[in-house]
């Protein structure tokens, strides 16, 4: 597959590799247009379907993860046309279909839709130069892909309102303290550290990883009681897998486990 707005690569040494997707519109600071989002969705689904890939990493450049939706592309959209053809929004939910773990490696700005794409990932690892913001209010619109939904779930109403209503940008350290990101690492070693995390995940049992991801995501979609019930069912289901037998036997034998996604 040839892409124009993203780059793809495969990294790693183990049996399962890491699928790397780099947002690549440097002149526009990785502003997200329909083509880029289509390509991102295609690449995500291709890696998700590839049995040789364990974990997926989405990243940008050192200056910009992504500066938001492409303002030049959408400035003349009108409601009827946009709504009818689902411009801007048609391809933004593809990430939710991905079952494998997805890590956002964020350096530089993650603004508007860029912050929202990062939040769609399962983990955000931020370089110490990362900045997060939802500046949509300054251009006459509001966040449209999770900035008013995933952001308050991540950092709470008070901080989310501050970012969404006043265009307050936050540093990597603030994002870490507020619970938006999983880890902060030096910018110079961001990709090494993220690939190392992905490699660690690649060595784990894929069925358990799928179930764990589904169950954590369920926490945001259900009552505590329903979520606990869902978790318990998946926990029980793990005992139908060879990976459970291998994982527990390996622990007791004091040897590394060899999982087979079976």
Catalytic residues: 69, 113, 116, 136
Site residues for ligand CO8, window 223-242 (CB under 6 A)? Answer: none
- Which residue number, 12 or 143, has a Cβ lying nearer to ligand CO8? 143
Residue 113 within binding range of ligand CO8, rule CB under 6 A: yes
Among 34, 39, 122, 136, binds ligand CO8 (CB under 6 A): 136
Q: At CB < 8 A and 24+ separation, what contacts does 140-147 make?
A: 143/112, 143/116, 144/69, 144/88, 144/89, 144/92, 144/113, 144/116, 145/89, 145/92, 145/113, 145/116, 145/117, 145/120, 146/116, 146/119, 146/120, 147/112, 147/115, 147/116, 147/119
Site residues for ligand CO8, window 10-69 (CB under 6 A)? Answer: 28-29, 31, 67-69
51 near 239, Cβ under 8 Å? no
CB of 50 to ligand CO8, least distance (A): 26
3-class DSSP state of 168:
coil
- Which residue number, 12 or 113, has a Cβ lying nearer to ligand CO8? 113
Residue 199 within binding range of ligand CO8, rule CB under 6 A: no
Residue 137 within binding range of ligand CO8, rule CB under 6 A: no
The helices-and-strands tally (H runs, E runs) of the chain is 11, 10
Among 10, 15, 49, 139, binds ligand CO8 (CB under 6 A): 139
Angle, CA of 165, 166 and 168, to the nearest 5°: 120
34/58 Cα distance (integer angstroms): 17
CB of 255 to ligand CO8, least distance (A): 47
Least Cα distance to 62 among 129, 3, 4, 6 occurs for 129
- Which residue number, 66 or 201, has a Cβ lying nearer to ligand CO8? 66
- Residue 240, burial from CB neighbour count under 10 angstroms (0-12, 13-18, 19+): exposed
Residue 101 within binding range of ligand CO8, rule CB under 6 A: no
Residue 165 within binding range of ligand CO8, rule CB under 6 A: no
Among 17, 39, 60, 70, binds ligand CO8 (CB under 6 A): 70
**Interface residues toward ligand CO8, by CB under 6 A:** 28-29, 31, 67-72, 88-89, 92, 109, 111-113, 135-136, 139, 144-145
């Amino acid at each position: 597959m040839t892409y124009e707005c993203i780059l793809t690569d495969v990294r790693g040494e183990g049996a399962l590799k890491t699928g790397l997707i780099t947002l690549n519109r440097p002149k526009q600071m990785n502003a997200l247009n329909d083509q880029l989002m289509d390509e991102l969705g295609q690449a995500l689904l291709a890696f998700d379907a590839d049995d040789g890939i364990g974990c997926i990493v989405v990243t940008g450049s050192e200056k910009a993860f992504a500066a938001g939706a492409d303002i030049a592309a959408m400035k003349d959209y009108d409601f009827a046309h946009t709504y009818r053809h689902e411009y801007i929004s048609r391809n933004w939910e593809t990430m939710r279909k991905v079952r494998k773990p997805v890590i956002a490696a964020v350096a530089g700005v993650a603004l508007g839709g860029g912050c929202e794409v990062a939040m769609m990932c399962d983990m955000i690892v931020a370089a110490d130069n990362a900045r997060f913001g939802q500046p949509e209010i300054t251009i006459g619109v509001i966040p449209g892909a999770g900035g008013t939904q995933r952001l308050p779930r991540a950092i709470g109403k008070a901080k989310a309102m501050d970012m969404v209503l006043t265009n307050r940008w936050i540093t990597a350290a603030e994002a870490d303290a507020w619970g938006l990101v999983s880890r902060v690492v030096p910018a110079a070693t961001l990709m090494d550290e993220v690939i190392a995390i992905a490699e660690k995940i690649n060595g784990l049992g894929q069925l358990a990883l799928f179930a764990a991801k589904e169950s954590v995501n369920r926490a945001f979609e259900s009552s505590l009681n329903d979520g606990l019930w869902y978790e318990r069912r998946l926990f029980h289901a793990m005992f139908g897998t060879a990976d459970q037998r291998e994982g527990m036997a390996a622990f007791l034998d004091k040897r590394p486990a060899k999982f087979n996604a079976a």
